[in-house]
Amino acid sequence: MLPRWRQTISRLFLIPQRYVLGIMGLLAVCSAYTMRVCLNLAVTQMVNNTNSGSDFVDPNACPDESEFITNATSSSRPYAIFDWSESTQGLILSGFYYGYALTHVPGGYLAERYGGKWTLGVGLLSTAIFTLLTPVVVKAGGATWLFILRVLQGMGEGPTMPALMIMLARWVPPHERSRQGALVFGGAQIGNIFGSFMSGFLMAGDGNWVNVFYFFGCFGILWFLAWSILCFSTPNTHPYISDEELKYLNETVTSADNKSVRDPVPWKAIVRSVPVWALLFAAVGHDWGYYTMVTDLPKYMTDVLKFNIAATGTLTAIPYLAMWISSFIFGWACDVCVKREWHSIKTGRIIHTTIAAVGPAVCIILASYAGCDRFAAVAYFIASMALMGGFYSGMKVNALDLAPNYAGSLTAMINGTSTISGIITPYLIGLLTPDSTLGQWRVAFWVCFAVLVGTNVIYIIWADGKQQWWDDVRQYGYPEGWKHGPLKIANRDTEKSKKKEAKKSAK
């Protein structure tokens, strides 16, 4: 039984603690993405000439005719003090992902060893502080210092997904994972919506771009304070969780009790696992399409479709709103179908991953061929992101299916490796669109189409939805022909311990 003071605090919560974690996890991802994407919109107002160094005039450029447009789109930038080329801007925007990739695996290790609460919390706190420092740093050191700062921001956010995944593995029952996954990771879309809209709002009417970084940096610090008070790494370390919920979680969640020492992470078995490789390819494809939209959609709206900054902020936010709403619909549908045994977990993951890959691939091509029909182009972008919402109930939670005991390390490896898409796409698009013309952007979108569809084919063929043998070798044993592996060392040490105990008992 809980002490009386703990019972009193527990009654103050109207929802179970696993849903409190889900909401705070959503806000964590939201904060992470606002700090990640705010530069994507701000850079359009920081640079005084997006076609610097080029005298090229696009004969097919979209006219400034819409009611959403101001004819001063290219010149009304009072705080645009930097003269960066498209490739330089692309390199700066990719800087975040260099650091992001570096700390995924260390972040997953720390979360599994010491718990996800502080691994996640301290990481996002550091990113919030770096966000606050952005205006000072960029004015002092220009593009070089800003690139370095973005790398540091990425390093702070690297542990976010692995830490959240390991916490979900220890808090969420299997039949709730699609919905909780959609709730928590849907925070990415909330962050994109909030980040895009507020950035446009703060910079509208000749607003200074520095306000964007001050606002989201403070938001991240406030989140950290709430997270520190409300959330804990496991149900068994939570001081005021109800007895009923604690009992339920310990009975239904494989990894709810984290008191036992786990075997070393079976990296050799993971690397040799075909479903893991299928998941990795799907993650690379998704991230390629997603980062293309997140990083470069504001530039496409501003440079090609010629929307002003206020309209760009609003219209960039709408596709992510569609993705957020659709993620809940897809998550609910997947859980219902699995629970009623209309299809297996594996089939559900494949269906929703395919929707989230092929649908957006087709829509962005249609958007590019819509040309200067702004209504049609925006509609296709909205449809693209709405279909991408199936990703959360598809491959995003697949790591929990394959390895609930090593979800943090597996997610770290998958996310860390797939982040190569975030490194490549902004710089590649900068190279493919030196003059930011519609024709140049169409080529970039065709590259995105090929990556999304190609990687999805690989996932369809080799994906799996069952817990893998290497995740719990004591239950499943080693497959025939498997002679070496890190878990054998752990088993050998366990056998030695048993023999020592037996000798002590005999004496």
pLDDT in tens, the chain (507 residues): 556 655 566 656 667 888 888 899 999 999 999 998 888 888 888 887 644 444 555 666 666 644 444 444 444 567 778 888 878 888 888 888 889 888 877 887 888 788 889 999 999 999 999 999 999 999 998 899 999 999 999 999 988 888 888 888 888 887 787 678 778 877 877 888 888 888 888 888 777 889 999 999 999 999 999 999 888 888 888 888 888 888 888 888 765 554 444 567 788 888 888 989 999 999 999 989 888 887 777 778 877 777 776 777 777 778 888 888 888 888 788 878 877 878 887 888 889 999 999 999 999 999 888 878 888 888 998 999 899 888 877 887 788 788 887 877 787 788 778 888 888 888 888 888 887 788 888 899 999 999 999 999 999 998 887 888 777 655 555 555 555 444 444 444 445 555 555 565 655
Report the predicted TM-score, pTM, of the whole model to 2 decimal places. 0.70
Q: Cβ neighbours of residue 15 under 8 Å, at least 6 residues apart?
A: none
Bridge partners of 60, per DSSP, are none
C-beta separation of 200 from 316 below 8 A: yes
Residues constituting the chain: 507
The CA distance from 343 to 456, in Å, is 19
C-beta separation of 367 from 381 below 8 A: yes
The CA distance from 1 to 243, in Å, is 7
